[in-house]
Amino acid sequence: MGPIILSGYEDASNSDILQGTRLQTVPAGGVLTFELQAAENDATKNFTASIQMPNGDTPLNNVRIPACNPAANGVIDERQNLTVSFPIMQGGHCVFSVTETGSTTFAWRVTYTPAG
């Protein structure tokens, strides 16, 4: 089994981004890498993200997502984005959620890399 890469674009809050995707249930133990970028990040327009692992741990809890500068919808700039990786066990469901403040957009990419 090789990697699984998902990506998307949100323009509103979403309580479970991975629900209904190929990563709704992790096929085998491995690592999930999240690449996150908002179009804007100020007091009136921003996104926060939370990640809850299958065992209940929340390594990311309402963390503001950095903006792309200059603001650009759907862009993930590796020089400015937030990238985090977490180990995950087979069969688990990771809850990845975002909350929008104001009116802005959010781009994401999740990569599953199997162990070994």
Q: Which of 48, 16, 53, 10 is nearest to 31 (CA)?
A: 53
Beta bridge partners of 37: 107
Whether the per-residue pLDDT at 1 is higher than 90: the answer is no
> How far is Cα 105 from Cα 4, in angstroms, rounded to an integer?
24
Instruction: Identify whether the C-beta of residue 108 lies closer than 8 Å to the C-beta of residue 48.
Output: no
Q: Percent of the chain, pLDDT > 70?
A: 100
pLDDT, tens digit, 9 for 90 and up, residues 55-81: 999 999 999 999 988 878 888 999 999
The whole-number average pLDDT for the span 89-105 is 95
* Predicted model pTM: 0.95
Residue 71: CB atoms within 10 A of its CB come to: 14
> How far is Cα 106 from Cα 26, in angstroms, rounded to an integer?
24
Structure tokens, 81: 């984005």
The whole-number average pLDDT for the span 19-44 is 96
